[in-house]
Structure 1
Amino acid sequence: MRCRLWAPGQAGSGCGRALFGQPLAALCGEDGSLPRPIQELLAVLRREGPSTEGIFRRAAGGTELRELREALDRGARVDLGSQPALLLAAVLKDFLRSIPDKLLVNNLYEDWMQAMERTGKEEKLSELKAVAKKLPAANLLLLKRLLSLLQHIGHSAATSRMTTSNLAICLGPNLLSPPNEDLLPLQAMLEVTEKVNTLVEFMIEYCSDIFGEEVAGRSCPSAGESPAPMDGATGAVFLLLAEPL
């Protein structure tokens, strides 16, 4: 084993509260922008995801995942651009999973399902647009950026080995559940998961039709750019990670 020094970078949480487990709106800037670490995660994954085999499917090291999550949660300044794409994908999944009531809002579960029951593609798209408008502004913003990222990766399935179906299976359960999820028997929960995955796959494939140019990712830093250091961030955080030879 050899040790790799993880030097401090530029991704603080951008607010005075934990990053994980909080309502998304509470984490956004006064201008409605997404939390700085999430912006950078999306940007780095947009650059690295298409060439990373099994992105969002392959597991990251448990220790590294825990330490990175804890560092982001306490507002440490971390150079996310230097971290493995698989690790960043795992962190993003953790973040999505931690959003109270989930990104697509559990209370809108029936609305999403009814939209998917429409027979024609155009009818589905029209209904999905209507449901999306019911989301909190912060959720809608992140949804657009996430779908754009996943479509980008899915278009490079030859290298990522991740089709839109694969991506939906890996991320769908983190994005939506019925409000009574804990009361459902196993078989019913399996059916719910299948329906949610179908919804997410459809939204990935047709995100441009649903949101138009708004899914272009303009609010994320460019792939080669890191956000500016956060004001008030002091000191340096060094995490010593064990890495096999």
Structure 2
Amino acid sequence: MGLPWPFALRRTPAAAQAPGQAGSGCGRALFGQPLAALCGEDGSLPQPIQEMLAALHKEGPSTEGVFRRAASGTQFRELRETLDHGAHVDLGSQPALLLAVILKDFLRSIPAKLLVTDLYEDWMAAMQKSSKEEKVEELKAVAEKLPGANLLLLKRLLALLQHIGHNASSSRMTASNLAICLGPNLLSPPNEDLLPLEAMLAVTEKVNVLVAFLIENCGDIFVEEMAGRSCPSAGELPAPMDGATGDRI
């Protein structure tokens, strides 16, 4: 069976014609590059990112602590280096915890972050709206300001995280848990390095609240794009895991 949208892989002609670069779909490094520079000519996401999203959609819901638990440091460094050199890797055969760590590191390496640091105040202002409906409309407007590649990956990522959160009985990861683990990798203010610790902790909390809201309401924010995804009802989710924090690796 094929995976439901948005996790069905789209192999770009560039990747198919250049097996030596099948890991990244281009000749440049995968990590630390502007996202738009890594996308295919048709606007598709880098091949290894597509494959990681697909594998995590399949295995993430049944992997306890996915995005929270650490993976082997040695495996992480080896896989990261291999992907960064554009070598082909069968990512579907890699452990879900390792793929989650690699994806989190990729998100952290995007210059100006996936949600774009210059839009930090816009995101925060949207979350200040009084009703859920107003928040959704404002967040939708901010999302439209994102570069096309960032918006595409954001939609794919949120669909994945919502799918994992809806299966929290097995993943033990609610939207809140996932936001704590991924939030700091997705958005920070432009002056992050100048903020004192207390201010940075307050920023982190606000970002986590934003990301949790995006995960829980991505179907409302991106109505047309999310309409085809297959997610079970949230139902009763287990209580958040104690001390759920994002691992640095």
TM > 0.5 fold call:
yes
SS across alignment from 1:100: coil
Q: Equivalent residue of 1:206, what SS?
A: helix
CA shift for structure 1 position 32: 0.4
User: Which amino acid is the alignment partner of residue 92 of structure 1?
Assistant: L
What TM-score, normalized by structure 2, do the two folds share?
Answer: 0.82
Tell me which residue corresponds to 1:212: 223
The structure whose residues are more often strand, as a share, is: 1
**Aligned sequence identity (%):** 81
Q: In angstroms, what is the RMSD of aligned CA positions?
A: 1.6
Q: Tell me how far 1:141 sits from its aligned partner.
A: 0.1
Distance 1:216 1:181 in 2: 36
Query: Could you say which residue in structure 2 is the equivalent of 1:69?
Result: 80
Max Rg structure: 1
Matched, 1:164 2:171: no
Q: 2:132 aligned with 1:121, yes or no? A: yes
Cα deviation for residue 10 of structure 1 reads 9.6
* 1:188 aligned residue: 199
Structure 1 residue 142 and structure 2 residue 153: aligned? Answer: yes
Structure 1 gap segments, 5+ residues each: 1-7, 219-245
Alignment of 1:11-160 (within 5 A): 11-160=22-171
Q: Is the Cα contact below 8 Å between 1:168 and 1:197 reproduced in 2? A: yes
Over 6 Å off, 4+ runs: none
- Relative contact order: is structure 1 or structure 2 higher (C-alpha 8 Å, sep ≥ 6)? 1
Deviations 1:53-110 (A, max 9, x none): 0000000000100000000000011000111000000000000000000000000000
| Whole-angstrom CA distance in 2 between matches of 1:13 and 1:31 | 15
Aligned to 1:229: none
CA gap 1:121/1:79 in 2 versus in 1, 3 angstroms:
same
CA contact (8 A) 1:145 1:217 kept: no
